[in-house]
Amino acid sequence: MKSLRFLIPIALFGVLVWFLFRGLSLNPREVPSPLIGKPAPAFALPRLDDPDKTMKREDFAGKPWVMNVWASWCAPCREEHPLVIDLARRIPVPVVGLNYKDRPGDARNWLQRLGNPYAATLIDFDGKVGIDFGVYGVPETFVIDAQGVVRYKHVGPLTPKVLQEKIEPLLKQLGA
């Protein structure tokens, strides 16, 4: 009975160490999203290039699409922007920009200076649509299939490796 008193703390310590090492091996860029495998949230947002026109999730139905959440005040967004431009040129699916909590004038100037890869840029001025999508911060990128189901979420700036190993193969699998 006395040896059991010593074994219990040692076993608990072993379990704690296992959880610690398990946590250290996880990739912080791969934040699990409860939206994966579920329909993308409904939205109706004005376009940056023409605020009188509104676009809805249903406007993108029938083909896969990529949604890139960005803002002109976001330094990592500037870092990933050349990759978004390259992705939009190479893939046959729309890349939609979700301009998150930004001033429309700043966003337009930013795209004019750096180039506009987006088939459409939607204004999420108050961030409510971003919250519906579970956006933690910008940039974030989502792949949505032809039925409007979220298939992938990337947190942080895109990298060539993420595009080549995750997003492009998934888009091909989805029929892009």
pLDDT tens digits, one per residue of 46-67: 999 999 999 999 999 999 999 9
Pull the structure tokens for residue 157. Answer: 């700036």
Pull the structure tokens for residue 74. Answer: 């976001």
DSSP string, 85-142: HHHHHHSSS-EEEEEES--HHHHHHHHHHH----SEEEEETTSHHHHHTT--SS-EEE
pLDDT tens digits, one per residue of 66-90: 999 999 999 999 999 999 999 999 9
Predicted TM-score (pTM) of the model is 0.83
The arithmetic mean of pLDDT across residues 133-144, rounded, is: 96
pLDDT at 4: 66
Determine the topology of domain 29-173 in CATH: Glutaredoxin (3.40.30)
Which one is predicted more confidently, 14 or 88?
A: 88
Residue with tokens 């960005």: 70
Give the domain ranges of the chain: 29-173
User: What does the DSSP 8-state code read for residue 174?
Assistant: T
Cα angle for residues 162, 143, 93 (degrees, 5° grid): 100
